[in-house]
Amino acid sequence: MSLKKSLFLLTLLCLSLSLVLVAIIWMTCNHIQSKYHDSGIIYRIGEPVIQNVEEPTEEQQLLLQTLSFIQILSCILLPVGSLIIAGAFFYRLKCKTPIEILQNSVKRIENQDLDFSIPVGSGDELGQLLAAFETMRNELLKSNQEIWRQAEERKRLNAAFSHDLRNPVTVLKGTVKLLRQDIHDERALERMENYTLRIEQYIESMNSIQRLEQLPIRKKETAVSLLKEELTHTAKLLAPSLSVSVSARAKIPIPDKKASNFCEHERTTVNLDHGLFLTVAENLIGNAARFARRNLSITLAIDNSFGNFLILSVTDDGPGYPEKLLQKGPKPFGKTEENPVHFGMGLYSSQVICTKHGGKLVLENKEGLGASATAFFQI
């Protein structure tokens, strides 16, 4: 019941009870007063007897005055008292507990303690306020957790960046030392140029990750047939020597469309950020092409069982992902092999993009096939 209805009902109930009590008091007082009359005679019609009435004594007059005062006082005090009682009941039943909960919640939030829940006990206005306050607390908690996660991720990113820069800097310092000592080294300048370029590429990789974390998602309707065509073209460029298969299917059948060829229909579209999808596709295909032996499989699917998702799966017949990578997930500069050209940023940046797109990146090793990377994009 709303606060207005509750207050009106309690007020009406208490006033009704007070009026009943006033009526009882008046009836009782009148009954007592009827036993005492002023001086004079009583003559009843139809009866020949005339009865003399004695004048009330001082005690009886005082009693009659007191009864009259009680009647007048009851008409004032009982209605006013009933309103006070109605207000007290209203506060205790409807306001006291929600206000105490809100006060306690504000204190905990001021102390940066967000690990609690606010109970919503009713559906009235105060209950709705508690529900809104709980939503705000939950959003603050998520925001703090995200800030903390980003801070931790930034620490790991900086640590990985510093670690990977150590070797090029050491080589450059050694080369400079040799040049100062006039030790002849024909490849000194070439080595310095290569490692300077490598440091430049590291810095560009760091900048690209920072841009990805701040990159907005711009979704638009895109034909699935176009995505399949672009995947085929990308696979030819990144894996020219491999046997590549590209397919599109429906994981969950769509009414009036065959699961085997629904993506081939020109009017089948998905709502996603086209550019970011291609970035993830290029990262996954390029990563798989480096480790595949002969075969590379690329699959597009739509899953509407737990929300609408476009699923991109890239599977190779290589040695598979290291166990450490499967357990802890992609990390910045998390290279699976020592390669001066690749910095181990492809899987990590793909994971960042998928998360920003409302999805995720799943890495697994499939028995008898190799490594499989599956990217989910919310559409």
Predicted local confidence at residue 200, as pLDDT: 72
Interval 117-173: pLDDT, tens: 888 878 888 888 888 888 898 888 888 888 887 777 777 666 656 655 666 677 677
pLDDT for 254: 43
| Secondary structure class of 195 (helix, strand, coil) | helix
Share of the chain above pLDDT 90, in %: 12
Three-state SS for 268? coil
Going by pLDDT thresholds of 50, 70 and 90, the confidence category of residue 42 is low
CA 339, 157, 211, 146 dihedral sign is: positive
Number of helical (H) and strand (E) elements in the chain, helices listed first: 9, 9
Q: Is the dihedral of CA 356, 309, 245, 294 positive or negative?
A: positive
- Alpha-carbon gap, residue 87 to 6, rounded angstroms: 10
Per-residue DSSP letters for 49-89? Answer: -EEEEPPPPHHHHHHHHHHHHHHHHHHHHHHHHHHHHHHHH
The residue behind tokens 């009259």 is 68
Among 59-68, 125-134, 319-328, the minimum mean pLDDT is found in 319-328
Res 158: pLDDT: 67
Chain-centroid distance of CA 263 in Å reads 33
Predicted confidence (pLDDT) per residue in 222-238, tens digit? 888 888 888 888 888 88
Q: What is the pTM of this model?
A: 0.48
Distance of alpha carbon 374 from alpha carbon 362, whole angstroms: 5
Please give the share of the chain, as a percent, with pLDDT higher than 70.
Answer: 75
Identify whether the C-beta of residue 335 lies closer than 8 Å to the C-beta of residue 344. yes
- Residue 258: DSSP 8-state: -
Long-range contacts of residues 161-167, Cβ cutoff 8 Å, at least 24 apart: 161/202, 161/206, 161/332, 161/333, 163/333, 164/202, 164/333, 164/343, 165/199, 165/202
Phi, psi of 203 (to 5 degrees): -60, -40
Per the model's pLDDT, the better-predicted residue between 211 and 125 turns out to be 125
pLDDT score, position 338 = 45
Q: State the Rg of the chain over Cα.
A: 42
- The pLDDT value given to residue 340: 45
C-beta neighbour count of 200 within 10 angstroms: 10
Q: What number is the average pLDDT over the span 261-286?
A: 74
Query: Is the alpha carbon torsion for 332, 337, 338, 341 positive or negative?
Result: negative
- So what's the pLDDT on residue 37? 64
pLDDT of residue 343: 43
Q: At what angle do helices 188-214 and 346-356 cross, to 10 degrees?
A: 10
73 vs 51: which has the higher pLDDT: 73
Measured distance CA(137)–CA(153) in Å, rounded: 24
- Per-residue pLDDT, averaged over 318-332, amounts to 78
For the ranges 229-243, 249-263, 341-355, the lowest mean pLDDT is seen at 249-263
Structure-block tokens of residue 47: 């009866």
